[in-house]
């Protein structure tokens, strides 16, 4: 297990609530790592004697931040939808393409037809690019199988990523993404299939159960039944909610005390109050609105109402083929009304809250030693220089895995 003493940190973002400001920044800092966990954090001139002999890494004045926690992705998929992207740029809407059998359904067909080793290899390449751009924990959903075997194959693929890429993967079962084409005239049977034949096995492979509750996907009643049954198999509730319209998904998330409600592009004040009261984390995707040419997510409204906000890539082949959380941070500030410090917090500690990972997304005694050294002296350069990869080094569990 790795031991390390990082010195010469010009600006250390700790996200430690015991320190000043949202980000708990410490200037001219050092971080001691013992056994792959953070053991001590503070000014460099006060490193305790017991840590002074650890192998030293001089950061030469650069900024160090917690590794990004990308709390919502559809990383495992077959095929590619660049053609649909071009159609959208020519004026067709996401909903029109979906209603015509494209969209999610076309990725379902491609995923079913992709063998397991190709599925894994493609997912590994994406995960590698994520790690290389600073993501140390990623959530991965199923949802492009929509039959028992392919859904489970997707969850197994998600788990296998960690054999090849040193980042943490948290799996989510999204068998209720859309009703697959073969059940279009009998959606009740598909809901029954999920509840009776998928949830028990999914519960052994995933932490969360997610439902896409929106026009063209699942109704509030269907989502409630699925998420209630999922809880019996130990799966925590999440919802794709209020992305395409006022679906009632956000209110259902509040009613169920869901861990997260994701997208949230259409919200009433009552929805927001409900999410705040339920302690549900709002997970937002500035890249999705950009890709769909829609209004940016209401990050400012949610933050000001006291809802815990996370931002994530939503990496998927349709609405956001984005792997880089630095771009998400840039857009959260440039389009969605968050300040640089709020955006960085939402990409790190907010993401960890969305995944219920208490030791991630901050840097302090007892936290994971998942750290990113920037090729910059301040985190502010992330939104200031969108499109530039500012990651100099990634440290996972105290070991340099990208440098």
Q: Which residues bind ligand NIG (CB under 6 A)?
A: 74, 103-104, 107, 212, 240, 243, 288, 314, 316-319
Binding region for Fe ion (CB under 5 A) out of 196-204, 307-315, 344-352, 384-392: 307-315
From the CB of residue 279, how many other CB atoms can be counted at a distance below 10 Å? Answer: 13
> For residues 71 and 319, which CB has a smaller minimum distance to ligand NIG in the complex?
319
> For residues 243 and 333, which CB has a smaller minimum distance to ligand NIG in the complex?
243
Residue with tokens 């059998």: 101
Name the minimum Å distance from CB 313 to ligand NIG.
10
Name the minimum Å distance from CB 187 to ligand NIG.
17
- Binding-site partner at residue 168 among ligand NIG, Fe ion, none, CB < 5 to 8 Å by type: none
How far are the Cα atoms of 86, 293, 322, 323, 334 from residue 89, in angstroms, in the given order? 5, 9, 17, 21, 21
> For residues 93 and 339, which CB has a smaller minimum distance to ligand NIG in the complex?
93
Asked if 110 and 103 count as a contact pair (C-beta separation under 8 A), the reply is: no
From the CB of residue 203, how many other CB atoms can be counted at a distance below 10 Å? Answer: 17
| β 236-241/208-213 pair status | parallel
Name the minimum Å distance from CB 104 to ligand NIG.
4
- Binding-site partner at residue 360 among ligand NIG, Fe ion, none, CB < 5 to 8 Å by type: none
Name the minimum Å distance from CB 197 to ligand NIG.
22
> For residues 236 and 243, which CB has a smaller minimum distance to ligand NIG in the complex?
243
| Nearest of 82, 122, 130 to residue 319 by alpha carbon | 82
Binding region for Fe ion (CB under 5 A) out of 187-195, 301-309, 312-320, 338-346: 312-320
Residue 284: strand, helix, or coil:
strand
Asked if 238 and 206 count as a contact pair (C-beta separation under 8 A), the reply is: no
From the CB of residue 91, how many other CB atoms can be counted at a distance below 10 Å? Answer: 8
Residue 270: strand, helix, or coil:
helix
Binding region for Fe ion (CB under 5 A) out of 23-31, 99-107, 213-221, 314-322: 314-322
Name the minimum Å distance from CB 212 to Fe ion.
8
For the chain, give the number of residues: 403
| Nearest of 165, 225, 155 to residue 190 by alpha carbon | 225
Burial class (CB in 10 A: 0-12, 13-18, 19+), 346: buried
> For residues 213 and 373, which CB has a smaller minimum distance to ligand NIG in the complex?
213
Binding region for Fe ion (CB under 5 A) out of 92-100, 152-160, 294-302, 311-319: 311-319
> For residues 314 and 323, which CB has a smaller minimum distance to Fe ion in the complex?
314
> For residues 66 and 175, which CB has a smaller minimum distance to ligand NIG in the complex?
175
> For residues 177 and 224, which CB has a smaller minimum distance to ligand NIG in the complex?
177
Name the minimum Å distance from CB 239 to ligand NIG.
11
| Nearest of 344, 256, 356, 254 to residue 307 by alpha carbon | 254
Name the minimum Å distance from CB 279 to ligand NIG.
22
Which residue number is nearest to ligand NIG in terms of Cβ? 318
Asked if 297 and 250 count as a contact pair (C-beta separation under 8 A), the reply is: no
- Binding-site partner at residue 317 among ligand NIG, Fe ion, none, CB < 5 to 8 Å by type: ligand NIG
Phi, psi dihedrals of residue 393, rounded to the nearest 5°: -155, 140
> For residues 107 and 137, which CB has a smaller minimum distance to ligand NIG in the complex?
107
> For residues 70 and 314, which CB has a smaller minimum distance to Fe ion in the complex?
314
How far are the Cα atoms of 43, 113, 180, 196, 230 from residue 206, in angstroms, in the given order? 40, 23, 21, 16, 11
- Residue 314 binds Fe ion, judged by CB under 5 A: yes
Name the minimum Å distance from CB 38 to Fe ion.
31
Residue with tokens 């030693």: 369
* Kind plus residue range of the DSSP H or E element containing 193: helix 187-193
Name the minimum Å distance from CB 37 to Fe ion.
31
Q: By rule CB under 5 A, what count of residues binds Fe ion?
A: 1
- Binding-site partner at residue 25 among Fe ion, ligand NIG, none, CB < 5 to 8 Å by type: none
Asked if 226 and 218 count as a contact pair (C-beta separation under 8 A), the reply is: yes
Can you give the binding site for Fe ion, defined by CB under 5 A? Answer: 314
């Amino acid at each position: 297990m790795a031991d390390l003493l990082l010195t010469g940190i010009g600006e250390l973002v700790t996200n430690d609530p015991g320190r000043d400001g949202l980000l708990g920044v410490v200037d001219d800092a050092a971080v001691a790592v013992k056994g792959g966990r953070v053991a001590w954090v503070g000014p460099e001139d006060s490193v305790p004697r017991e840590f002074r002999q650890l192998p030293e890494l001089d950061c030469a004045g650069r900024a160090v931040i917690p590794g990004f926690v990308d709390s919502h992705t559809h990383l495992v998929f077959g095929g590619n939808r660049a053609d649909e992207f071009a159609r959208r740029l020519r004026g067709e809407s996401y909903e029109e393409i979906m209603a015509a059998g494209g969209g999610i359904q076309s990725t379902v067909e491609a995923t079913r037809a992709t063998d397991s080793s190709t599925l894994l290899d493609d997912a590994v390449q994406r995960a590698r690019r994520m790690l290389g751009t600073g993501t140390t924990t990623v959530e991965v959903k199923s949802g492009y199988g929509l039959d028992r075997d392919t859904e489970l194959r997707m969850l197994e693929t998600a788990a296998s990523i960690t054999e090849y890429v040193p980042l943490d993967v948290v799996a989510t079962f999204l068998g209720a993404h859309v009703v697959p084409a073969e059940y279009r005239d009998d959606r009740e049977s598909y809901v029954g299939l999920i509840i009776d034949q998928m949830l028990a096995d999914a519960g052994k492979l995933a932490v969360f159960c997610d439902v896409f509750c929106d026009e063209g996907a699942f109704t509030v009643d269907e989502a409630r039944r699925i998420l209630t049954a999922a809880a019996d198999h130990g799966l925590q509730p999440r919802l794709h909610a209020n992305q395409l319209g006022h679906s009632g998904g956000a209110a259902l998330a509040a009613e169920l005390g869901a861990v997260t409600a994701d997208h949230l592009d259409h919200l009433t004040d009552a929805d927001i109050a409900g999410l705040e009261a339920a302690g549900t984390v709002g997970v937002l995707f500035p890249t999705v609105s950009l890709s769909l040419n829609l209004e940016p997510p209401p990050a400012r409204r949610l933050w000001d109402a006291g809802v815990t906000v996370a931002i994530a890539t939503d990496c998927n082949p349709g609405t956001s083929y984005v792997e880089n959380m630095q771009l998400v941070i840039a857009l959260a500030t440039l389009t969605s009304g968050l300040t640089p410090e709020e955006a960085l917090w939402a990409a790190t500690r907010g993401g960890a809250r969305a995944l219920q990972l208490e030791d991630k997304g901050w840097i302090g005694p007892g936290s994971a030693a998942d750290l990113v050294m920037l090729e910059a002296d301040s985190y502010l350069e992330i939104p200031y220089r969108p499109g530039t990869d500012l990651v100099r080094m990634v440290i996972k569990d105290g070991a340099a895995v990208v440098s």
